[in-house]
Chains A and B, each alone.
Chain A
């Protein structure tokens, strides 16, 4: 995993009719976190969605381990997890059921492994409650457990600390630290910088 590298060359991105990013290139290696900063509307979410392939690239290329991701889209997706603004949790199912499904789509997981991941993110107590009864911060904790269960090298996070209390923000930093230490890489759009060992972090300001 430590040999993984995500790079992008000469990306031009539009949101609706607006040309938000012009000729952006970047490279992130295993063990590194790239923090995307910038004002609202600077294109942080647009960039994340383009990197993972949700938005079509009009111009530019994205490479995963030196290979254009369009050559093996599903292989690339199998190595990444994208966590957007709204965690994709069904309100009528419990956190445990939601995560068992999402992790199961990728690989075989046991109930014990799902519960353990939920406990690690502080969601163990309410794992069996329907998601509709949880607060926004609690839902976020459930979604974060999904990152652990996915067990993939590349994390793309859009505002991972939204709705979290200060302990929750420490939790995100701790999860990222462990992920980077294991050789994973991450790109996170953030408003508040995460408290992570500075040597591992780089910043890309999209407003600059």
Chain B
């Protein structure tokens, strides 16, 4: 033990370890993954049922319905982003691991997106069919929901970290995050609308992309600071 300690694992490698572990944990308990998906499916089909079989009306409101349902489903899942890790002392050990907490939380948030955002994106075109959206728009819907949910995961990680100390933090989290999520909703539903009409949806996608870049660079820093406060 007298020799100097071996070098620390690199930050990127540490983040990758966190992603692998969270994915492994999620697949040992797949039922948790299904909750947001079930919620998404429920809301989207309820709209179709409530508004009747008029395809033209349904197609008109489809982008809004898809996005509101996806947004709420993603918010529902965000509440659990850090909760288990906070309760069992994992976050505490992350903070003391000698690794940058920012990178570890970046890994956690990325894993969260893979587990909630990606399934929501894959499911969105299916929900689109029930609202009379043509199959040709599938790729566009998938891409916009994937990108939007990525931004939402990062922005939401700040809220999830800030509400760790609060009992029943779910409602508080929604109130905190929804104003920040409004641009995602606006650009996302616009992009989906253009995709459904068969026009180019590049412009709103680029705006969504810039939100992703901004939240990707800033949110993990803020989330790490908030987690440190919650540990006290």
Q: Would you call A97 and B24 a contact (CB within 8 A)?
A: yes
Identify which of A55, A77, A86, A182 contacts B98 (C-beta below 8 A).
Answer: A77
The listed residue with most A CB atoms (<10 A of its CB), out of B5, B14, B232, is B5
Chain B positions within 8 Å of A81 at CB level = 96
Alpha-carbon distance A166/B17, docked complex (angstroms):
36
Q: Is the CB of A86 within 8 A of B89?
A: yes
C-alpha gap A53/B90 in the complex (Å): 16
A107: CB under 8 A from chain B? yes
Q: Residue on B with the closest CB to A56?
A: B232
Neighbour of A151 across the interface among B5, B24, B95, CB < 8 A: B5
Is B99's CB within 8 Å of the partner chain A? yes
Q: Does A106 contact B (CB under 8 A)?
A: yes
Q: Which chain A residue lies CB-closest to B6?
A: A107
Q: Would you list which residues of chain A between 53 and 83 have a CB under 8 Å from chain B? A: 53-56, 74-75, 77-82
Q: Is A126 an interface residue (CB 8 A)?
A: no
- Contact status A93-B24, CB under 8 Å: yes
Are A104 and B232 in touch, CB under 8 angstroms?
no
Chain B interface residue number, banded: 20 to 34
Q: Which chain A residues lie closer than 8 Å to B25 at the CB level?
A: 90, 92-93
Is A183's CB within 8 Å of the partner chain B? Answer: yes
CB B8 to nearest CB in A, in angstroms, measures 6
Whole-angstrom CA separation of A88 from B94 in the bound complex: 10
Q: Which residues of B contact A106 (CB under 8 A)?
A: 8-9, 97-98
Q: In whole angstroms, how far apart are the Cα atoms of A89 and B87 in the complex? A: 11
- Cα–Cα distance between A86 and B93 once the two chains are bound (Å): 11
Contact (A152, B5) CB under 8 Å given A88-B89, A105-B17? yes
Residue B50, interface by CB 8 Å:
no
Complex Cα distance, B9 from A97, in Å, reads: 17
Residues of B within 8 A of A79 (CB): 5, 98
> Is B100 an interface residue, CB under 8 A from the partner?
yes
List residues of chain A with CB within 8 A of the CB of B28.
92-93
CB within 8 Å of A: which B189-232 residues: 231-232
Chain B, 1-30, CB within 8 A of any chain A CB: 1-2, 5-9, 14, 17, 21, 24-25, 28-29
Contact yes or no, B1 A182, CB < 8 A: yes
Report whether A151 and B98 are in contact in the complex, using a CB–CB cutoff of 8 Å.
no
The residue of chain A having its C-beta at the shortest distance from the C-beta of B21 within the complex is A101
Cβ contacts under 8 Å, B54 to chain A: none
The answer to whether the Cβ of A84 comes within 8 Å of any Cβ in the partner chain is yes
Nearest CB of B to A17, in Å: 14
Nearest A residue (CB) for B91: A88
Give the CA-CA distance A86 to B90 in the complex, in Å.
10
> Do residues A1 and B2 form an inter-chain contact, with CB atoms below 8 A?
yes
Which of B's residues lie within 8 Å of A, judged by CB? 1-2, 5-9, 14, 17, 21, 24-25, 28-29, 88-90, 92-93, 95-100, 104, 231-232
* Contacts A101-B21, A105-B17, A153-B1 known; 4 new A-B pairs at CB < 8 A: A79-B5, A84-B92, A90-B90, A104-B9
7 closest cross-chain pairs (CB), A and B: A78-B98, A182-B1, A88-B89, A92-B28, A77-B98, A88-B93, A105-B97
